[in-house]
A and B are shown apart, each in its own frame.
Chain A
């Protein structure tokens, strides 16, 4: 069992949890993920690590409420326990030896983009960042991003905050302004990562994406997280989660992630109704 030592609602549907997991904290690196189960009947869900404190023995994750499990998680409080918390899984992001990079985060993906950005910064790279959200109410971690980047562009789809429009436009502006990036690193919804990759491809800028496919064990056993990368089968849990964005078969990845959509929607509704009933 793993204790929630801190819970903070960053936005109505975006919550930060700091979890006591000393062994995971000791090993965690930016770009890696954990798998958690909320309770005995819970599913195993992969969530990328936002931060870690080795001396405190804690790992921080930022979670958007999107389904049954994240809804259950939202109802837990400080002092409560998670059934399982396994990690760190996957390979760490390679951040060494880059002179200038641009980190692109979309929505709650920014929670993951942040530690990577910080690491690039700590490794001595000049870091630019583009972060995008649906609207002003969903903007997270802006101050943190600002601290570790020399240029930050915040975009919202509806223009309610920062620059109106999608992250790819802002990224293209930066590239066209003459910024020579050694690498672009993108984390967010799959569609966003796909279009970031499409944006950088004509410029020949190496682009790394952090994939979040369907997963069960996360240790290289079930094969559910397989992707087609450069025509080869890859497993996100052991070969990734970072891949060359120019080589990922995006259409396939997007479709495979929808495999259980109906079940997930149904289970989410069922869980919400259950909590509503309890509240009454």
Chain B
């Protein structure tokens, strides 16, 4: 008999007033009892809509049935048959728009906590190891594939191919593996030890990783194929240059991109005393933008002791960030200044930021994106007293690879053009993730990595 409770088992979390002063993980994870109880809420639908909602098609009812039986290791086997990075997806996927958004239980009451269960299964596995020893390493099929970038798209593509016996090398520009999972998403949302474990698992399957290698500078795509013998290349180089507002004062000291702020904190660990990387410790911060990256930046700034405002031109309803992230930010004391937009950054005589001038906005008719267009309210300017402004407005694709790869077609926004298989305009060169779409989510990037891996396998196995 299914557990007919209308509500999900709540996620145990650190108290908001404690966690907003540390960088430890916010959500603590289900216990075995909670996981089994939650798993029993799944109706095991004959036609599971949740699976359609998952970009990597995890066999959700199957793994949940195993959890309900207490067979956590078998559940792990089900998940990892289609998902290379379960501990990460369980934490950062926008499940409410994907699997959980499709869940029948969500029609009357709350959906099954699929993400929380996925996380539980992965964490249980990581804590207890694999029953019956490490999984078998597939026999090599002799085909060499290069993956550019070790973020979610690249790691997924690499993992799927390695499991099929491909000789995969991942090229990473930074000194650490993980892309946005290590430089962007903060420790309190995705502990870096978890990323390291998932990467170690890929290495177990034979994936080779070369850090400190900038494709487009150190090596080009053509050299990978012509000189180094890679038969196919997957480009998952991620998003690129941060966007800034075109307003006066945007280059003053104390205005930085969310990418820079988060990289200093996450990748360079600048919040720890033994890091050599400098970090400003602002007193009052305005984070401009309303996406997940804005929430991450705001919550990091809060943890450094600042009073933090989110400045967003539309309303609370329109915030593009995950609902859970907004809720966490509010609980931690982030102040939302919605329906207002910066018009100027103010500074003192040394060019140090001392404030941000905003104008009030109201919502008009829906625009091309379907969201109601924000319109300035004339004469409603007001100043907010801040000493730091963080711009979290998205990114434009990195120019390094397109400028050094002949014949690689690029769209107007700078994204790499691909077909439904992830194939670019160049033979045997595939791409996926933010390099194609512009800033999007971890799971969409993983989905693209998976699609490309399948297409690469089909192309190379014919050879």
Give me the interface of A with B, judged by CB distance under 8 Å: 23-24, 27, 37, 41-44, 68-69, 72, 83-89, 216-217, 219-224, 226, 228, 233, 235, 238, 249, 252, 255-256, 258-260, 263-264, 267
Query: In the assembly, what is the distance between CA of A277 and CA of B357, in Å?
Result: 49
Q: How far is the CB of B390 from chain A (nearest CB, A)?
A: 11
Residues of A close to B217: CB separation below 8 A? 27, 87-89, 219
User: Do residues A223 and B242 form an inter-chain contact, with CB atoms below 8 A?
Assistant: yes
Binds A, one of B96-104, B137-145, B269-277, B292-300: B269-277
Known: A43-B277, A224-B257. 7 other contacts (CB 8 A): A41-B274, A86-B213, A216-B264, A216-B277, A220-B240, A220-B398, A223-B241
Residues of A close to B253: CB separation below 8 A? 255-256, 258-259
Residues of B close to A219: CB separation below 8 A? 173-174, 214, 217, 398, 400
Q: How far is the CB of B391 from chain A (nearest CB, A)?
A: 8
Query: In the assembly, what is the distance between CA of A259 and CA of B395, in Å?
Result: 23
User: Do residues A83 and B175 form an inter-chain contact, with CB atoms below 8 A?
Assistant: yes
Closest to A69 in B: B276
Identify whether the interface residues of B are mostly helix, strand, loop, or mixed: loop
User: Do residues A217 and B173 form an inter-chain contact, with CB atoms below 8 A?
Assistant: yes
Residues of A close to B269: CB separation below 8 A? 41
Closest to B396 in A: A220
Q: How far is the CB of B305 from chain A (nearest CB, A)?
A: 16
Residues of B close to A220: CB separation below 8 A? 240-241, 398-400
Query: In the assembly, what is the distance between CA of A255 and CA of B274, in Å?
Result: 27
Q: How far is the CB of A231 from chain B (nearest CB, A)?
A: 11
Closest to A89 in B: B217
Query: In the assembly, what is the distance between CA of A166 and CA of B169, in Å?
Result: 51
Contact of B350 among A216, A221, A255 (CB under 8 A): A255
Residues of B close to A224: CB separation below 8 A? 256-257, 260
User: Do residues A88 and B268 form an inter-chain contact, with CB atoms below 8 A?
Assistant: no
Q: Name the residue in B217, B267, B350, B351 with the highest tally of chain A Cβ atoms < 10 Å from its Cβ.
A: B217
User: Do residues A86 and B173 form an inter-chain contact, with CB atoms below 8 A?
Assistant: yes
Residues of A close to B183: CB separation below 8 A? 217, 221
User: Do residues B278 and A43 form an inter-chain contact, with CB atoms below 8 A?
Assistant: yes
Residues of B close to A222: CB separation below 8 A? 242, 257, 259-260, 263
Residues of B close to A41: CB separation below 8 A? 269, 274-276
User: Do residues A44 and B256 form an inter-chain contact, with CB atoms below 8 A?
Assistant: no
Query: In the assembly, what is the distance between CA of A23 and CA of B217, in Å?
Result: 10
**B212 in the interface (beta carbon within 8 A):** yes
Contact with A along B165-190 (1 / 0, CB 8 A): 00000000111000000010000000
Query: In the assembly, what is the distance between CA of A89 and CA of B214, in Å?
Result: 8
Residues of B close to A37: CB separation below 8 A? 175
Residues of A close to B395: CB separation below 8 A? 221
User: Do residues A255 and B351 form an inter-chain contact, with CB atoms below 8 A?
Assistant: yes
Query: In the assembly, what is the distance between CA of A27 and CA of B218, in Å?
Result: 7
Query: In the assembly, what is the distance between CA of A87 and CA of B175, in Å?
Result: 12
Residues of A close to B257: CB separation below 8 A? 222-224
Give me the interface of B with A, judged by CB distance under 8 Å: 173-175, 183, 211-214, 217-219, 238-242, 244, 250-251, 253-254, 256-257, 259-260, 263-264, 267-269, 274-280, 350-351, 395, 398-400
Residues of B close to A259: CB separation below 8 A? 253-254, 278, 280
Q: How far is the CB of A17 from chain B (nearest CB, A)?
A: 17
Query: In the assembly, what is the distance between CA of A88 and CA of B173, in Å?
Result: 11
Query: In the assembly, what is the distance between CA of A83 and CA of B174, in Å?
Result: 12
User: Do residues B218 and A87 form an inter-chain contact, with CB atoms below 8 A?
Assistant: yes
User: Do residues B259 and A223 form an inter-chain contact, with CB atoms below 8 A?
Assistant: yes
Q: How far is the CB of A215 from chain B (nearest CB, A)?
A: 10
Query: In the assembly, what is the distance between CA of A169 and CA of B209, in Å?
Result: 52
Query: In the assembly, what is the distance between CA of A24 and CA of B219, in Å?
Result: 9
Q: How far is the CB of B403 from chain A (nearest CB, A)?
A: 9
Contact of B251 among A88, A217, A238, A256 (CB under 8 A): A256
Closest to B270 in A: A43
Residues of B close to A252: CB separation below 8 A? 251, 351
Closest to B173 in A: A219
Write 8 A-B pairs (CB below 8 A) sorted by A numbering: A72-B276, A86-B214, A216-B263, A217-B263, A220-B399, A221-B238, A223-B259, A223-B260
Residues of B close to A88: CB separation below 8 A? 217-218
User: Do residues B219 and A23 form an inter-chain contact, with CB atoms below 8 A?
Assistant: yes
Q: How far is the CB of A216 from chain B (nearest CB, A)?
A: 5
User: Do residues A221 and B263 form an inter-chain contact, with CB atoms below 8 A?
Assistant: yes
Residues of A close to B351: CB separation below 8 A? 252, 255-256
Closest to B220 in A: A27
User: Do residues A216 and B276 form an inter-chain contact, with CB atoms below 8 A?
Assistant: no
Q: Name the residue in A68, A86, A89 with the highest tally of chain B Cβ atoms < 10 Å from its Cβ.
A: A86
Query: In the assembly, what is the distance between CA of A240 and CA of B260, in Å?
Result: 18
Residues of A close to B263: CB separation below 8 A? 216-217, 221-222
Residues of A close to B260: CB separation below 8 A? 216, 222-224
User: Do residues B174 and A233 form an inter-chain contact, with CB atoms below 8 A?
Assistant: no
Query: In the assembly, what is the distance between CA of A43 and CA of B175, in Å?
Result: 11
Query: In the assembly, what is the distance between CA of A200 and CA of B259, in Å?
Result: 37
Query: In the assembly, what is the distance between CA of A8 and CA of B174, in Å?
Result: 28
Query: In the assembly, what is the distance between CA of A219 and CA of B211, in Å?
Result: 13
Q: How far is the CB of A46 from chain B (nearest CB, A)?
A: 13
Query: In the assembly, what is the distance between CA of A265 and CA of B414, in Å?
Result: 40
User: Do residues B212 and A84 form an inter-chain contact, with CB atoms below 8 A?
Assistant: yes
Residues of B close to A256: CB separation below 8 A? 251, 253, 351
Q: Name the residue in B242, B250, B274, B277 with the highest tally of chain A Cβ atoms < 10 Å from its Cβ.
A: B277
Given the interface contacts A86-B212, A223-B260, does A235 sit within 8 Å of B241 by beta carbon?
yes
Q: How far is the CB of B174 from chain A (nearest CB, A)?
A: 6
Given the interface contacts A220-B398, A222-B263, A255-B351, does A23 sit within 8 Å of B218 by beta carbon?
yes
Residues of B close to A258: CB separation below 8 A? 253
Given the interface contacts A223-B260, A224-B260, does A84 sit within 8 Å of B244 by beta carbon?
no
Residues of A close to B250: CB separation below 8 A? 233
Query: In the assembly, what is the distance between CA of A258 and CA of B254, in Å?
Result: 11
Residues of A close to B259: CB separation below 8 A? 221-223
